[in-house]
Structure 1
Amino acid sequence: MIRKAFLMSVYPDKHEEYEKRHNEIWPEMVDELRKHGVNNYSIFLDKETSNLFGYIEVEDEETWSEMDSTEINQKWWAFMEPLMETHSNNRPVSKDLKEVFHMQ
């Protein structure tokens, strides 16, 4: 299993809507994530800074990298675009983090 962590940002006035949309995540989005090797996925919010910390476990990088181009993912990005910083293609602006410690 590959552990990945990343940072994103949600607009300060959109915290509740961001959480609501994730609490009501589309079943077809969850199915697609699983098809692309996701076994564990969490997002945490720092309300003071509006930073999001994402943690995901994937089976392999190649399968995971194909998720971006799926129709449902493109639809999700467009759905989330009004709530957060995104690139011109609606992909969330994110910064990958380097793992420096892990205890099992």
Structure 2
Amino acid sequence: MENIEIYINYVAKITEAIGVLTIFLGSLYAIGKFMFSMRNRKPVTYIELRQSVGKSILLGLEILIAADIMATVVTKPTLKSVSILGLIVLIRTFLSLSLQVELEGKFPWQKSKN
């Protein structure tokens, strides 16, 4: 059982790294696309840049939440560890929700304004 915990911990650390890389590389891609499009007749606007970076952050946050859940499964569930996980998930979920509202202009459960 101890070996499984070690492997799950490694997987959680790798998943955390993937989440951070997702945010970093997605932001770099969005900024690079913005910089190179300045030469074109129709450059990427600031709003499109913000939306691209926001989408990278959203995806990265979702991956980081998954990593936190995996890391908590490995530890012995104490009230403190579960509370910390709950707080982290709550903060990241709030950030994800507020980013999504800013990007789309509506809450996820609202219908589209057609």
Larger-Rg structure: 2
Structure showing greater relative contact order (alpha-carbon pairs closer than 8 Å, 6 or more residues apart): 1
TM-score for both structures, normalised by structure 2 = 0.26
Relative to total residues, which structure has the larger strand share, 1 or 2? 1
Relative to total residues, which structure has the larger helix share, 1 or 2? 2
TM-score for both structures, normalised by structure 1 = 0.28
